[in-house]
Amino acid sequence: MRRIVHISDLHYGRVDPALEQPLAETIHGLAPDLLVVSGDLTQRARKGQFEAAAAFLDYLPKPQLVVPGNHDTPLDNLWVRFASPFGRYRRHICNDLEPVHRDGEMVVVGVNTVNRYSWQRGRIGKTRLRRLSARLADSGDKLRIAVLHHPLEHGPETEKRLMRGARETLEELSACGADVVLSGHLHTASAEPFRAVPDLLFVQAGTVLSTRLRHDEPNTFNQLDHDGDMLSVTTWAAQQGGFAPVARSDWRQGADGWHRIAKAAE
Distance of alpha carbon 169 from alpha carbon 126, whole angstroms: 9
Q: Is the pLDDT of residue 231 over 50?
A: yes
pLDDT at 264: 46
pLDDT (tens digit per residue) in 153-210: 987 667 778 989 999 999 999 999 999 999 999 999 999 999 999 999 999 999 999 9
Q: Is the pLDDT of residue 55 over 50?
A: yes
Contact by Cβ (8 Å): 250, 260: yes
Q: Is the pLDDT of residue 9 over 60?
A: yes
Contact by Cβ (8 Å): 143, 226: yes
Distance of alpha carbon 65 from alpha carbon 34, whole angstroms: 7
Closest CA to 6 of 224, 213, 248, 240: 224
Q: What is the DSSP string of 14-45?
A: SB-GGGHHHHHHHHHHH--SEEEEES--BSS-
pLDDT at 75: 76
Distance of alpha carbon 238 from alpha carbon 220, whole angstroms: 6
Q: What one-letter code names the amino acid at 49?
A: Q
Q: 78 pLDDT band (50/70/90 cuts)?
A: low
Q: Is 12 helix (H, G, I), strand (E, B) or coil?
A: strand
In the chain, % helix, strand, coil (3-state, to 5) comes to 25, 30, 45
pLDDT at 255: 87
138 secondary structure, DSSP code: S
Q: Is 37 helix (H, G, I), strand (E, B) or coil?
A: strand
When comparing pLDDT for 262 and 264, which is higher? Answer: 262
Q: Spell out the alpha helix ranges (H) of 115-190.
A: 126-136, 166-175
List beta partners, residue 143.
106
Q: 265 pLDDT band (50/70/90 cuts)?
A: very low
Q: Is the pLDDT of residue 66 over 80?
A: yes
Closest CA to 50 of 100, 104, 87, 4: 87
When comparing pLDDT for 55 and 262, which is higher? Answer: 55
**pTM (2 d.p.):** 0.94
Q: 125 pLDDT band (50/70/90 cuts)?
A: confident
Q: Is the pLDDT of residue 74 over 90?
A: no
pLDDT at 30: 98
Q: Is 169 helix (H, G, I), strand (E, B) or coil?
A: helix
pLDDT at 156: 62
Closest CA to 236 of 53, 5, 72: 5
Q: Is 85 helix (H, G, I), strand (E, B) or coil?
A: coil
